[in-house]
Structure 1
Protein backbone atom coordinates (compact mmCIF):
# COMPACT_ATOMS: atom_id res chain seq x y z
CA UNK A 1 0.00 0.00 0.00
CA UNK A 2 2.80 2.41 0.85
CA UNK A 3 4.88 1.99 -2.27
CA UNK A 4 6.75 5.24 -1.84
CA UNK A 5 8.35 6.63 1.31
CA UNK A 6 5.71 9.35 1.67
CA UNK A 7 2.28 8.57 0.26
CA UNK A 8 -0.51 11.13 -0.14
CA UNK A 9 -3.69 9.73 1.42
CA UNK A 10 -6.98 11.48 0.59
CA UNK A 11 -9.93 11.29 3.00
CA UNK A 12 -13.29 12.36 1.59
CA UNK A 13 -15.81 14.82 3.05
CA UNK A 14 -18.61 15.94 0.74
CA UNK A 15 -19.48 18.92 2.93
CA UNK A 16 -16.17 20.55 2.04
CA UNK A 17 -16.97 20.33 -1.66
CA UNK A 18 -19.86 22.78 -1.19
CA UNK A 19 -22.05 21.35 -3.93
CA UNK A 20 -19.34 20.38 -6.39
CA UNK A 21 -19.68 16.97 -8.03
CA UNK A 22 -18.23 14.37 -5.64
CA UNK A 23 -16.78 11.90 -8.13
CA UNK A 24 -15.34 14.62 -10.37
CA UNK A 25 -13.50 16.13 -7.42
CA UNK A 26 -12.08 12.79 -6.27
CA UNK A 27 -11.05 11.95 -9.83
CA UNK A 28 -9.19 15.26 -10.08
CA UNK A 29 -7.15 14.24 -7.02
CA UNK A 30 -6.50 10.79 -8.48
CA UNK A 31 -5.34 12.34 -11.74
CA UNK A 32 -3.04 14.53 -9.69
CA UNK A 33 -1.35 11.52 -8.11
CA UNK A 34 -3.32 10.39 -5.04
CA UNK A 35 -2.92 6.62 -4.63
CA UNK A 36 -5.00 6.03 -1.49
CA UNK A 37 -8.59 7.20 -1.03
CA UNK A 38 -10.61 6.72 2.15
CA UNK A 39 -14.37 7.17 1.94
CA UNK A 40 -15.37 8.96 5.15
CA UNK A 41 -18.83 10.48 4.97
CA UNK A 42 -20.35 11.21 8.37
CA UNK A 43 -23.41 13.05 7.11
CA UNK A 44 -24.97 10.77 4.50
CA UNK A 45 -27.37 7.83 4.65
CA UNK A 46 -26.26 4.22 4.43
CA UNK A 47 -27.69 3.97 0.93
CA UNK A 48 -25.80 7.05 -0.26
CA UNK A 49 -22.64 5.83 1.44
CA UNK A 50 -22.88 2.51 -0.41
CA UNK A 51 -23.54 4.24 -3.74
CA UNK A 52 -20.45 6.38 -3.26
CA UNK A 53 -18.41 3.37 -2.20
CA UNK A 54 -19.32 1.37 -5.30
CA UNK A 55 -18.56 4.34 -7.55
CA UNK A 56 -15.23 5.02 -5.81
CA UNK A 57 -14.27 1.36 -6.05
CA UNK A 58 -14.57 1.59 -9.83
CA UNK A 59 -12.81 4.94 -9.98
CA UNK A 60 -9.85 3.91 -7.83
CA UNK A 61 -9.35 0.79 -9.91
CA UNK A 62 -9.19 2.98 -13.00
CA UNK A 63 -6.27 4.89 -11.44
CA UNK A 64 -4.65 1.86 -9.77
CA UNK A 65 -5.26 3.37 -6.33
CA UNK A 66 -6.15 1.75 -3.02
CA UNK A 67 -9.70 2.22 -1.73
CA UNK A 68 -10.39 2.25 2.01
CA UNK A 69 -13.76 2.62 3.75
CA UNK A 70 -14.03 4.39 7.09
CA UNK A 71 -15.71 2.37 9.86
CA UNK A 72 -18.35 0.57 7.78
CA UNK A 73 -17.16 -3.00 7.31
CA UNK A 74 -20.47 -3.94 5.69
CA UNK A 75 -20.12 -1.21 3.07
CA UNK A 76 -16.49 -2.20 2.47
CA UNK A 77 -17.58 -5.79 1.83
CA UNK A 78 -20.39 -4.84 -0.53
CA UNK A 79 -18.13 -2.52 -2.52
CA UNK A 80 -15.14 -4.90 -2.48
CA UNK A 81 -12.93 -2.22 -0.95
CA UNK A 82 -9.25 -2.89 -0.36
CA UNK A 83 -9.71 -2.33 3.34
CA UNK A 84 -11.23 -0.52 6.29
CA UNK A 85 -10.05 2.22 8.63
CA UNK A 86 -11.39 1.98 12.18
CA UNK A 87 -11.26 4.08 15.33
CA UNK A 88 -10.85 3.16 18.97
CA UNK A 89 -14.60 2.71 19.51
CA UNK A 90 -15.25 0.65 16.37
CA UNK A 91 -15.13 -3.08 15.68
CA UNK A 92 -11.80 -4.73 16.56
CA UNK A 93 -9.04 -5.53 14.09
CA UNK A 94 -9.67 -9.24 14.68
CA UNK A 95 -13.35 -8.71 13.97
CA UNK A 96 -12.61 -6.97 10.68
CA UNK A 97 -10.29 -9.78 9.64
CA UNK A 98 -12.93 -12.35 10.55
CA UNK A 99 -15.52 -10.60 8.41
CA UNK A 100 -13.38 -9.53 5.47
CA UNK A 101 -10.47 -11.95 5.39
CA UNK A 102 -6.78 -11.66 6.11
CA UNK A 103 -5.94 -10.13 2.73
CA UNK A 104 -7.77 -6.86 3.41
CA UNK A 105 -5.98 -3.75 4.67
CA UNK A 106 -6.85 -2.49 8.14
CA UNK A 107 -5.89 0.93 9.47
CA UNK A 108 -6.46 2.08 13.04
CA UNK A 109 -6.62 5.62 14.44
CA UNK A 110 -4.41 6.17 17.49
CA UNK A 111 -3.05 9.10 19.48
CA UNK A 112 -0.50 7.54 21.83
CA UNK A 113 2.15 4.82 21.99
CA UNK A 114 0.04 2.34 23.95
CA UNK A 115 -2.80 2.39 21.42
CA UNK A 116 -0.32 2.15 18.53
CA UNK A 117 1.34 -0.93 20.01
CA UNK A 118 -2.04 -2.50 20.69
CA UNK A 119 -3.13 -1.92 17.09
CA UNK A 120 0.10 -3.50 15.85
CA UNK A 121 -0.32 -6.53 18.14
CA UNK A 122 -3.88 -7.02 16.92
CA UNK A 123 -2.75 -7.13 13.30
CA UNK A 124 -3.31 -3.62 11.93
CA UNK A 125 -1.57 -2.95 8.63
CA UNK A 126 -1.01 0.74 9.35
CA UNK A 127 -2.01 3.38 11.89
CA UNK A 128 -3.36 6.89 11.49
CA UNK A 129 -1.90 9.31 14.03
CA UNK A 130 -3.38 12.69 14.90
CA UNK A 131 -4.71 15.20 14.98
CA UNK A 132 -1.41 16.90 14.20
CA UNK A 133 -3.01 20.36 14.11
CA UNK A 134 -6.46 21.75 14.97
CA UNK A 135 -9.03 20.53 12.44
CA UNK A 136 -12.68 21.14 11.66
CA UNK A 137 -13.23 17.93 9.68
CA UNK A 138 -13.43 15.65 12.72
CA UNK A 139 -15.42 16.35 15.87
CA UNK A 140 -13.56 16.33 19.21
CA UNK A 141 -10.18 15.70 17.57
CA UNK A 142 -7.42 15.98 20.18
CA UNK A 143 -4.09 17.25 18.88
CA UNK A 144 -0.79 15.54 19.64
CA UNK A 145 2.69 17.03 19.69
CA UNK A 146 5.61 16.15 17.46
CA UNK A 147 7.38 14.32 20.26
CA UNK A 148 4.46 11.93 20.54
CA UNK A 149 4.55 11.36 16.78
CA UNK A 150 8.24 10.48 17.03
CA UNK A 151 7.65 8.18 20.03
CA UNK A 152 4.91 6.31 18.21
CA UNK A 153 7.03 5.88 15.09
CA UNK A 154 9.95 4.54 17.11
CA UNK A 155 7.71 2.06 18.91
CA UNK A 156 6.09 0.35 15.93
CA UNK A 157 7.10 -1.57 12.83
CA UNK A 158 4.04 -0.89 10.68
CA UNK A 159 3.47 2.20 8.48
CA UNK A 160 2.30 5.45 10.07
CA UNK A 161 0.06 8.05 8.45
CA UNK A 162 -0.18 11.52 9.99
CA UNK A 163 -3.56 13.26 9.82
CA UNK A 164 -5.40 16.28 11.14
CA UNK A 165 -5.17 19.87 9.98
CA UNK A 166 -2.09 19.29 7.81
CA UNK A 167 -1.61 21.93 5.09
CA UNK A 168 1.20 22.89 2.76
CA UNK A 169 1.95 25.89 4.96
CA UNK A 170 2.48 23.82 8.14
CA UNK A 171 3.80 20.51 6.87
CA UNK A 172 7.36 21.68 7.53
CA UNK A 173 6.56 21.39 11.23
CA UNK A 174 6.28 17.62 10.76
CA UNK A 175 9.45 15.57 10.48
CA UNK A 176 8.64 13.49 7.41
CA UNK A 177 11.14 10.87 8.53
CA UNK A 178 8.58 9.87 11.14
CA UNK A 179 5.74 9.17 8.69
CA UNK A 180 4.98 6.90 5.74
CA UNK A 181 2.10 9.00 4.53
CA UNK A 182 0.20 12.25 4.98
CA UNK A 183 -3.60 12.17 5.10
CA UNK A 184 -5.47 15.28 4.00
CA UNK A 185 -9.08 16.35 3.61
CA UNK A 186 -9.73 20.08 3.23
CA UNK A 187 -6.15 20.77 2.14
CA UNK A 188 -7.11 19.28 -1.23
CA UNK A 189 -10.90 19.08 -1.36
CA UNK A 190 -11.31 22.61 -0.02
CA UNK A 191 -9.54 24.32 -2.92
CA UNK A 192 -10.93 25.14 -6.35
CA UNK A 193 -8.13 23.54 -8.38
CA UNK A 194 -8.01 20.09 -6.81
CA UNK A 195 -5.82 18.63 -9.55
CA UNK A 196 -3.26 21.45 -9.32
CA UNK A 197 -3.19 21.36 -5.53
CA UNK A 198 -2.68 17.61 -5.53
CA UNK A 199 0.31 18.00 -7.86
CA UNK A 200 1.81 20.49 -5.39
CA UNK A 201 1.43 17.95 -2.57
CA UNK A 202 2.95 15.14 -4.63
CA UNK A 203 5.92 17.34 -5.45
CA UNK A 204 6.31 18.39 -1.82
CA UNK A 205 6.25 14.79 -0.54
CA UNK A 206 8.66 13.66 -3.24
Structure 2
Protein backbone atom coordinates (compact mmCIF):
# COMPACT_ATOMS: atom_id res chain seq x y z
CA UNK A 1 0.00 0.00 0.00
CA UNK A 2 1.30 3.46 -0.87
CA UNK A 3 0.16 7.06 -0.85
CA UNK A 4 -0.80 7.03 -4.51
CA UNK A 5 -3.07 4.03 -4.01
CA UNK A 6 -4.87 5.85 -1.20
CA UNK A 7 -5.09 9.06 -3.21
CA UNK A 8 -6.58 7.11 -6.11
CA UNK A 9 -9.58 6.21 -3.96
CA UNK A 10 -10.96 9.70 -4.59
CA UNK A 11 -13.01 8.46 -7.56
CA UNK A 12 -13.96 4.79 -7.59
CA UNK A 13 -16.03 3.12 -10.29
CA UNK A 14 -17.79 -0.06 -9.22
CA UNK A 15 -18.64 -2.14 -12.26
CA UNK A 16 -21.98 -3.52 -13.39
CA UNK A 17 -21.83 -4.88 -16.92
CA UNK A 18 -25.63 -5.05 -17.11
CA UNK A 19 -25.87 -1.24 -17.11
CA UNK A 20 -23.49 -0.57 -19.99
CA UNK A 21 -24.84 1.05 -23.14
CA UNK A 22 -21.53 0.30 -24.89
CA UNK A 23 -19.22 -2.69 -24.55
CA UNK A 24 -18.08 -3.32 -20.99
CA UNK A 25 -14.36 -2.90 -21.60
CA UNK A 26 -14.87 0.21 -23.73
CA UNK A 27 -17.00 1.75 -20.98
CA UNK A 28 -14.23 1.15 -18.44
CA UNK A 29 -11.61 2.67 -20.75
CA UNK A 30 -13.75 5.76 -21.26
CA UNK A 31 -14.22 6.14 -17.51
CA UNK A 32 -10.46 5.91 -16.98
CA UNK A 33 -9.90 8.54 -19.67
CA UNK A 34 -12.41 10.75 -17.88
CA UNK A 35 -10.57 10.51 -14.57
CA UNK A 36 -11.65 7.37 -12.71
CA UNK A 37 -8.78 6.49 -10.37
CA UNK A 38 -9.97 3.15 -8.99
CA UNK A 39 -11.89 0.38 -10.72
CA UNK A 40 -13.61 -2.15 -8.49
CA UNK A 41 -14.61 -5.28 -10.39
CA UNK A 42 -17.90 -6.47 -8.96
CA UNK A 43 -19.58 -8.82 -11.40
CA UNK A 44 -21.80 -11.50 -9.96
CA UNK A 45 -22.94 -14.65 -11.70
CA UNK A 46 -19.88 -15.04 -13.95
CA UNK A 47 -18.05 -18.39 -14.06
CA UNK A 48 -14.63 -18.26 -12.45
CA UNK A 49 -12.61 -18.61 -15.66
CA UNK A 50 -14.60 -15.88 -17.40
CA UNK A 51 -14.19 -13.60 -14.39
CA UNK A 52 -10.45 -14.27 -14.40
CA UNK A 53 -10.17 -13.35 -18.09
CA UNK A 54 -12.16 -10.16 -17.50
CA UNK A 55 -10.00 -9.28 -14.50
CA UNK A 56 -6.84 -9.86 -16.52
CA UNK A 57 -8.03 -7.40 -19.19
CA UNK A 58 -8.95 -4.78 -16.60
CA UNK A 59 -5.60 -5.21 -14.86
CA UNK A 60 -3.86 -4.32 -18.12
CA UNK A 61 -5.93 -1.22 -18.81
CA UNK A 62 -5.80 0.09 -15.22
CA UNK A 63 -2.01 -0.17 -15.29
CA UNK A 64 -1.98 1.92 -18.46
CA UNK A 65 -3.86 4.68 -16.64
CA UNK A 66 -1.97 4.29 -13.33
CA UNK A 67 -5.28 3.49 -11.63
CA UNK A 68 -6.06 1.11 -8.77
CA UNK A 69 -7.64 -2.22 -9.62
CA UNK A 70 -9.64 -3.80 -6.82
CA UNK A 71 -11.65 -7.00 -6.98
CA UNK A 72 -14.80 -7.55 -4.99
CA UNK A 73 -14.65 -10.56 -2.66
CA UNK A 74 -12.62 -12.92 -4.87
CA UNK A 75 -9.21 -13.12 -3.25
CA UNK A 76 -8.14 -15.89 -5.63
CA UNK A 77 -8.80 -13.77 -8.71
CA UNK A 78 -7.11 -10.74 -7.13
CA UNK A 79 -3.97 -12.76 -6.47
CA UNK A 80 -4.05 -14.39 -9.91
CA UNK A 81 -4.04 -11.08 -11.80
CA UNK A 82 -1.95 -9.14 -9.26
CA UNK A 83 -4.70 -6.66 -8.47
CA UNK A 84 -4.04 -3.79 -6.08
CA UNK A 85 -6.45 -5.12 -3.50
CA UNK A 86 -9.77 -6.66 -2.56
CA UNK A 87 -13.06 -5.32 -1.31
CA UNK A 88 -14.96 -7.26 1.32
CA UNK A 89 -18.57 -7.46 2.40
CA UNK A 90 -19.96 -8.94 5.58
CA UNK A 91 -20.31 -12.37 4.00
CA UNK A 92 -16.72 -12.47 2.76
CA UNK A 93 -13.86 -14.40 4.32
CA UNK A 94 -12.81 -13.04 7.74
CA UNK A 95 -10.55 -10.00 7.53
CA UNK A 96 -7.66 -11.69 9.35
CA UNK A 97 -7.71 -14.58 6.88
CA UNK A 98 -7.75 -12.22 3.89
CA UNK A 99 -4.88 -10.17 5.34
CA UNK A 100 -2.80 -13.31 5.79
CA UNK A 101 -3.49 -14.39 2.22
CA UNK A 102 -2.79 -11.14 0.38
CA UNK A 103 -0.26 -9.50 2.68
CA UNK A 104 0.19 -5.91 3.81
CA UNK A 105 1.11 -4.41 0.45
CA UNK A 106 -2.39 -4.66 -1.02
CA UNK A 107 -5.48 -2.64 -0.17
CA UNK A 108 -8.33 -4.18 1.78
CA UNK A 109 -11.59 -2.25 1.78
CA UNK A 110 -14.81 -3.09 3.58
CA UNK A 111 -18.41 -2.17 2.78
CA UNK A 112 -20.15 -0.44 5.69
CA UNK A 113 -23.70 0.80 6.10
CA UNK A 114 -23.72 2.17 9.65
CA UNK A 115 -21.49 3.76 12.27
CA UNK A 116 -21.15 0.43 14.05
CA UNK A 117 -19.97 -1.35 10.90
CA UNK A 118 -17.57 1.49 10.10
CA UNK A 119 -15.97 1.32 13.55
CA UNK A 120 -15.69 -2.45 13.29
CA UNK A 121 -13.96 -2.17 9.91
CA UNK A 122 -11.59 0.42 11.36
CA UNK A 123 -10.75 -1.89 14.27
CA UNK A 124 -10.09 -4.79 11.90
CA UNK A 125 -7.43 -2.71 10.18
CA UNK A 126 -9.15 -1.94 6.87
CA UNK A 127 -7.29 0.44 4.56
CA UNK A 128 -10.53 2.20 3.60
CA UNK A 129 -14.28 1.78 3.86
CA UNK A 130 -17.15 2.43 1.53
CA UNK A 131 -20.02 4.02 3.44
CA UNK A 132 -23.61 4.30 2.31
CA UNK A 133 -26.05 4.58 0.81
CA UNK A 134 -25.77 8.33 1.24
CA UNK A 135 -28.78 9.07 -0.97
CA UNK A 136 -31.63 7.02 -2.35
CA UNK A 137 -30.36 4.52 -4.89
CA UNK A 138 -32.19 1.89 -6.96
CA UNK A 139 -29.76 -0.87 -5.97
CA UNK A 140 -30.63 -0.49 -2.27
CA UNK A 141 -34.26 0.61 -2.57
CA UNK A 142 -36.32 -0.99 0.16
CA UNK A 143 -33.22 -2.53 1.76
CA UNK A 144 -31.30 0.34 3.32
CA UNK A 145 -32.38 3.85 4.24
CA UNK A 146 -30.18 6.71 2.98
CA UNK A 147 -27.71 7.85 5.64
CA UNK A 148 -27.31 11.45 4.48
CA UNK A 149 -24.11 13.48 4.20
CA UNK A 150 -24.13 14.65 7.83
CA UNK A 151 -23.36 11.10 8.98
CA UNK A 152 -20.04 11.32 7.13
CA UNK A 153 -19.04 14.43 9.06
CA UNK A 154 -19.82 12.73 12.38
CA UNK A 155 -17.99 9.57 11.38
CA UNK A 156 -14.83 11.49 10.42
CA UNK A 157 -14.20 12.19 14.10
CA UNK A 158 -13.92 8.48 14.83
CA UNK A 159 -12.67 6.91 11.60
CA UNK A 160 -9.35 8.20 10.28
CA UNK A 161 -8.99 5.82 7.33
CA UNK A 162 -10.46 7.03 4.01
CA UNK A 163 -14.26 7.09 3.92
CA UNK A 164 -15.54 6.53 0.39
CA UNK A 165 -19.15 7.58 0.10
CA UNK A 166 -21.53 5.77 -2.23
CA UNK A 167 -25.18 5.46 -3.05
CA UNK A 168 -27.06 7.79 -5.37
CA UNK A 169 -24.12 10.17 -5.89
CA UNK A 170 -24.01 12.16 -9.13
CA UNK A 171 -22.72 15.47 -10.49
CA UNK A 172 -25.50 17.50 -8.87
CA UNK A 173 -24.96 16.31 -5.30
CA UNK A 174 -21.29 15.30 -5.15
CA UNK A 175 -20.17 18.64 -3.69
CA UNK A 176 -22.38 18.23 -0.63
CA UNK A 177 -20.80 14.80 -0.04
CA UNK A 178 -17.27 16.21 -0.29
CA UNK A 179 -18.11 19.25 1.84
CA UNK A 180 -19.19 16.95 4.66
CA UNK A 181 -15.84 15.20 4.65
CA UNK A 182 -15.90 12.20 2.32
CA UNK A 183 -12.39 11.29 1.18
CA UNK A 184 -13.75 10.00 -2.10
CA UNK A 185 -16.84 8.77 -3.87
CA UNK A 186 -17.84 5.46 -5.42
CA UNK A 187 -20.40 5.30 -8.21
CA UNK A 188 -21.98 2.71 -10.45
CA UNK A 189 -24.90 3.83 -12.61
CA UNK A 190 -23.93 7.51 -12.94
CA UNK A 191 -21.02 6.34 -15.09
CA UNK A 192 -21.81 2.81 -16.26
CA UNK A 193 -25.30 3.71 -17.51
CA UNK A 194 -24.45 7.09 -19.02
CA UNK A 195 -24.53 7.65 -22.78
CA UNK A 196 -21.07 9.24 -22.50
CA UNK A 197 -19.10 7.53 -19.69
CA UNK A 198 -16.00 9.62 -20.31
CA UNK A 199 -17.81 12.93 -19.94
CA UNK A 200 -19.84 11.68 -16.98
CA UNK A 201 -16.63 10.69 -15.22
CA UNK A 202 -14.93 13.98 -16.08
CA UNK A 203 -17.82 15.96 -14.57
CA UNK A 204 -17.31 14.11 -11.28
CA UNK A 205 -13.52 14.28 -11.42
CA UNK A 206 -13.48 18.03 -12.00
CA UNK A 207 -15.59 18.55 -8.88
CA UNK A 208 -13.29 16.34 -6.78
CA UNK A 209 -9.98 17.98 -7.80
CA UNK A 210 -10.52 21.33 -5.97
CA UNK A 211 -11.35 19.51 -2.73
CA UNK A 212 -8.26 17.31 -2.98
CA UNK A 213 -6.08 20.36 -3.68
CA UNK A 214 -7.55 22.19 -0.69
CA UNK A 215 -6.96 19.22 1.65
CA UNK A 216 -3.38 18.75 0.44
CA UNK A 217 -2.50 22.45 0.58
State TM-score, norm by structure 1.
0.91
Cα distance in 2 between the residues matched to 1:92 and 1:56: 26
Greater mean deviation of Cα atoms: 7-16 or 139-148: 139-148
Cα distance in 1 between the residues matched to 2:44 and 2:107: 21
Question: Residues 94 and 123 of structure 1 are in contact (CA less than 8 Å); yes or no, is this contact kept in structure 2?
Answer: no
Instruction: Give matches, 1:103-182, under 5 Å.
Output: 103-137=105-139, 140-182=143-185
Question: Residues 170 and 204 of structure 2 are in contact (CA less than 8 Å); yes or no, is this contact kept in structure 1?
Answer: no
What is the CA distance between 1:37 and its match in structure 2? 0.6
**Structure 2 unmatched ranges of 5 or more:** 210-217
Residue 85 to residue 142, structure 1, CA distance change in 2 (3 Å): farther
Match of 1:128, SS state, is: strand
Cα distance in 2 between the residues matched to 1:9 and 1:25: 14
Instruction: Give matches, 1:25-174, under 5 Å.
Output: 25-137=27-139, 140-174=143-177
What is the CA distance between 1:176 and its match in structure 2? 3.0
What is the CA distance between 1:147 and its match in structure 2? 3.0
Residue 138 to residue 75, structure 1, CA distance change in 2 (3 Å): farther
Moved over 4 A (4+): none
Greater mean deviation of Cα atoms: 47-56 or 180-189: 47-56
Greater per-residue helix proportion: 2
User: How many residues end up aligned between the 2 structures?
Assistant: 204
- Can you list the C-alpha shifts for 1:139-188, whole angstroms capped at 9, x where unaligned? 73442133322222221111110011111122244243411101011111
Question: Residues 174 and 207 of structure 2 are in contact (CA less than 8 Å); yes or no, is this contact kept in structure 1?
Answer: no
Cα distance in 2 between the residues matched to 1:114 and 1:122: 12
CA root-mean-square deviation: 1.8
